Amino acid sequence: MEPPKMVLPGDQVAVAEEFEAGEGTYEREGVIFASMPGVLTLDPNARVARVKPFNPVAELQVGDIVYGIVDDIRGMMATATVTAIHGRSREISGQAEGTIHISNVSEEYTEDIHDMFRLGDVVRAKVIQTKPSLQLTTAEGLLGVVKALCGQCRGPLERRDRDLYCPRCERSERRKMTRDYGDLMLSVPARELGGGVVAERPRRQERGGRDRDRGGRDRGRGGGRDRGRGGGRDRGARDRGRGGGRDRGPRHD
């Protein structure tokens, strides 16, 4: 068996008459070239030439602890571009833009996602879904914002109890911070940060009995209040109070 052949970008690896250009290669005028440094593989059965990188890219998996930069906040969603996986030095492949729904921001009730994240924040999150879209959560103590800049002067914010403080502007801001904000545990294994385990979060209730599972202001506006103003239970209560009780009384007598 021949030893693996190392190739560099631009090296000729095969001819199009014998092989098709696979991953890590490209064809030009009937000749197949390597498009990246790596190990050449010529598959005689499929008749495909491939170049596998020396250091394969890392594919995101459910349970991975990742770091990303918040680049968009709309409605009940924050979008973060994932730049690294905790404990790995490989480049990330595939979908690198993940979303954090308001229900996955914190273990506590979140009224407004803008109170938890700001544009440019660096967050540590956990992957809870990879397909069809990348979904993240920060709803654990060691997940959340790990670095934030002042919204006014863009200087670094320091932790002061439960808030972040800007020593330049002498003002405070709120975030969903990690417990190790300012002293990050970058050297610990991912499992100590909650990696690998994706537990199903129990459905929570807002004060007044409203469903908190979906998060944010829309729950308060859509669910409980509409039922209170015109829903079945209140209508039924009024009907019973006005006529139901008097009609049933004589029948029981």
Alpha-carbon distance 206 to 116, whole Å?
A: 18
Q: What is the mean pLDDT of the chain?
A: 80
- Based on the structure, what is the number of domains in the chain? 2
- How sure is the predictor about 204, in pLDDT bands with cuts at 50, 70 and 90? very low
Same domain, 77 and 178: yes
- The domain in which residue 26 lies consists of 5-54
Same domain, 134 and 41: no
Predicted confidence at residue 198, as pLDDT, reads 79
pLDDT tens digits for range 174-198: 999 999 998 888 889 999 999 987 7
- How sure is the predictor about 203, in pLDDT bands with cuts at 50, 70 and 90? very low
Give domain status of residue 47, yes or no: yes
Same domain, 67 and 177: yes
> Looking at the predicted structure, is the pLDDT value of residue 115 above 50?
yes
Q: Which has the higher per-residue pLDDT, 15 or 221?
A: 15
Give domain status of residue 166, yes or no: yes
Give domain status of residue 78, yes or no: yes
Give domain status of residue 96, yes or no: yes
Predicted confidence at residue 245, as pLDDT, reads 41
Place of tokens 């020396």: 54
> Quick check: 193 and 184 in contact, CB under 8 A?
no
Alpha-carbon distance 136 to 34, whole Å?
A: 35
Give domain status of residue 239, yes or no: no
1-26 average pLDDT score: 86
> Looking at the predicted structure, is the pLDDT value of residue 22 above 50?
yes
Structure tokens at 236: 């039924």
Q: What is the CATH number of the domain that holds 92?
A: 2.40.50.140
Same domain, 17 and 67: no
R_g (Cα) of the chain, nearest Å: 28
Q: What percent of the chain has pLDDT over 70?
A: 75
pLDDT tens digits for range 26-53: 999 999 999 988 889 999 999 999 998 8
16-34 average pLDDT score: 93
